[in-house]
């Protein structure tokens, strides 16, 4: 299913000011369409740096350029800004550069609690769809209604969007600015406080809280060295993650990032290797999950050394997995992840991340 490309996502960028002098009067400032992608990544990186979006980013990003490179490689193939820009150039979406500028100004002023959840009124009308209901579409934003149904076919069909307060199955269906929260289209108005209902897919909980997916209630993030259940990336306080081996009780443990090769790593103690330096923990003790930081293995390189019993991760950014089809008596090698329909024995081997009855499930296709 096509993921909704809302204004809230497409306009998380900074801007280049283009103001012209016409007869002594300056025109309203504009955000040039050509600058949207690069500027979007810059603003999103700023939010990662200031708002502590996810502890995972600490392992893969250590500076602004690293953040930009990461976003470009990880998000570049998803439906999003590039498709929006292409649709504007094709004429199925109308872009208002002045409103785009005003929208960005408003979004830059959002707090961490609001950023990613609240769509400022200034953003209304930045992108306008031109396709009426029952017309053929690829993107939600191409439709006058704001909803392109691609569930059954691609291209999809423009359909009426679901109003706030009405039942929904996904945020795609909701009117612009609303999201599907607990089965109902809703617009963010304020952070949800402790003890109140929330939807883990759209975590609207206030700072210091997280949405527990088991209870669908906002709860306080757990302090360092306290017990945790590893049900959410946001479960533990900033700077810590929920670690533990097997069925043993897990705890929120301070994350220590090791940046040098051959240094010790310990998953249970939160001592992790810096992926931004292309390092991974080469496990040599499978009971304690300890080892040393080593460079990622690449395509066709040995990732499991059967002689010394060492497991070294394949490049986490390269869509690779460690092929252990020969068992622990043979070396494992890094192979390209499998497409939907290919035979599999482990979900790690599938591009979709899901091996269903020995067959890789299809990826969530982008209708384009």
- Judge if 79 and 23 occupy the same domain: yes
CA distance 103 to 258: 40
Asked if residues 322 and 313 have their Cβ atoms less than 8 Å apart, the reply is: yes
What pLDDT, on a 0 to 100 scale, did the predictor assign at position 79? 53
Domain boundary among 158, 186, 214: 186
Could you tell me if residue 137 is inside a domain? Answer: yes
Could you tell me if residue 319 is inside a domain? Answer: no
CA distance 86 to 83: 5
- Judge if 197 and 212 occupy the same domain: yes
- Judge if 215 and 137 occupy the same domain: no
- Judge if 94 and 240 occupy the same domain: no
Domain boundary among 127, 152, 186: 186
- Judge if 234 and 162 occupy the same domain: no
Q: Mean pLDDT, 10 residues at a time, over the chain (368 residues)?
A: 34 36 64 80 83 81 88 64 88 93 85 86 90 96 95 93 96 92 94 95 91 95 96 91 89 95 95 95 95 98 97 93 93 95 93 90 70
Could you tell me if residue 356 is inside a domain? Answer: no
- Judge if 135 and 44 occupy the same domain: yes
- Judge if 172 and 196 occupy the same domain: no
| Residue 275, helix vs strand vs coil | helix
Q: What DSSP assignment string belongs to 9-65?
A: HHT-S---B---EETTEEPPP-B-GGGHHHHHHHHHHHHHHHH---THHHHH-SSHH
Q: What DSSP assignment string belongs to 153-187?
A: -SSEEE-PPBPTTSB-SSGGGBPTT-EEETTEEE-
- Under DSSP, the state recorded for 140 is G
Domain that holds residue 136: 7-186
- Judge if 48 and 119 occupy the same domain: yes
- Find tokens 């569930």 and name the residue: 151
- Judge if 138 and 16 occupy the same domain: yes
- Find tokens 């980013």 and name the residue: 57
Rounded to 5 degrees, what are φ and ψ at 256?
-110, 125
The CATH number of residue 211's host domain is 2.10.80
Could you tell me if residue 224 is inside a domain? Answer: yes
Query: Residue 89 contacts by C-beta under 8 Å, 6 or more apart in sequence?
Result: none
What pLDDT, on a 0 to 100 scale, did the predictor assign at position 368? 67
What pLDDT, on a 0 to 100 scale, did the predictor assign at position 69? 84
CA distance 203 to 181: 9
What pLDDT, on a 0 to 100 scale, did the predictor assign at position 8? 35
- Judge if 96 and 143 occupy the same domain: yes
Could you tell me if residue 335 is inside a domain? Answer: no
- Judge if 210 and 121 occupy the same domain: no
What pLDDT, on a 0 to 100 scale, did the predictor assign at position 199? 94
- Under DSSP, the state recorded for 230 is -
Asked if residues 87 and 141 have their Cβ atoms less than 8 Å apart, the reply is: yes
Task: Tell me whether strands 290-295 and 279-285 are parallel, antiparallel or unpaired.
Answer: antiparallel
Strand-pairing partners, residue 25, are 22
End-to-end CA distance of the chain: 11
CA distance 162 to 182: 14
Could you tell me if residue 270 is inside a domain? Answer: no
- Under DSSP, the state recorded for 332 is E
| Residue 150, helix vs strand vs coil | coil
Residue 105 tokens, joined: 């100004």
The count of structural domains within the chain is 2
Cα–Cα distances in Å, from 10 out to 64, 71, 84, 190, 347? 20, 14, 8, 21, 31
Domain boundary among 157, 186, 215: 186
Distance of alpha carbon 12 from its chain centroid, rounded?
13
Residue 253 tokens, joined: 């443990």
Query: Residue 130 contacts by C-beta under 8 Å, 6 or more apart in sequence?
Result: 91, 92, 93, 94, 142, 144
Could you tell me if residue 144 is inside a domain? Answer: yes
- Judge if 139 and 195 occupy the same domain: no
């Amino acid at each position: 299913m096509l993921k909704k490309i809302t204004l809230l996502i497409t306009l998380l960028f900074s801007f280049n000011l283009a103001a012209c002098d016409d007869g002594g009067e300056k025109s309203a400032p504009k955000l040039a369409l050509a600058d949207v992608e690069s500027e979007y990544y810059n603003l999103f990186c700023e939010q990662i740096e200031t708002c502590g979006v996810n502890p995972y980013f600490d392992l893969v990003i250590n500076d602004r350029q690293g953040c930009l490179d990461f976003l470009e490689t990880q998000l570049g193939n998803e439906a999003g800004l590039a498709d929006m820009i292409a649709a504007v150039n094709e004429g199925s979406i109308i872009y208002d550069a002045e409103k785009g500028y005003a929208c960005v100004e408003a979004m830059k002023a959002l707090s961490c609690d609001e950023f990613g959840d609240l769509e400022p009124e200034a953003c209304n009308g930045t992108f306008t769809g031109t396709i009426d209901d029952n017309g053929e579409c690829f993107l939600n934003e191409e439709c006058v209604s704001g909803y392109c149904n691609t569930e059954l076919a691609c291209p999809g069909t423009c359909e009426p969007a679901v109003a706030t307060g009405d039942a929904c199955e996904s945020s795609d269906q909701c009117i612009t600015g609303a999201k599907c929260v607990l089965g109902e289209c809703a617009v963010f108005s304020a952070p949800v406080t402790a003890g109140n209902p929330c939807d883990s897919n759209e975590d609207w909980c206030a700072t210091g809280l997280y949405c527990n997916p088991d209870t669908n209630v906002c709860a306080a993030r757990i302090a360092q060295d306290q017990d945790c259940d590893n049900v959410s990336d946001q479960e533990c306080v900033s700077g810590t993650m929920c670690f533990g081996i097997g069925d043993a009780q897990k705890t929120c443990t301070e994350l220590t990032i090791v940046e040098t090769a051959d240094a010790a790593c310990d998953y249970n103690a939160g001592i992790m290797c810096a992926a931004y330096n292309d390092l991974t923990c080469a496990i040599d003790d499978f009971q304690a999950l300890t080892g040393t930081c080593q460079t990622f293995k690449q395509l066709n390189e040995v990732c499991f050394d059967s002689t010394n019993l060492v497991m070294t991760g394949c490049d986490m950014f390269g869509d690779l997995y460690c092929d252990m089809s020969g068992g622990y008596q043979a070396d494992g090698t890094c192979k390209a992840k499998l497409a939907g329909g290919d035979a599999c024995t482990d979900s790690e081997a599938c591009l979709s991340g899901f091996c269903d009855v020995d067959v890789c499930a299809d990826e969530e296709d982008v209708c384009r």
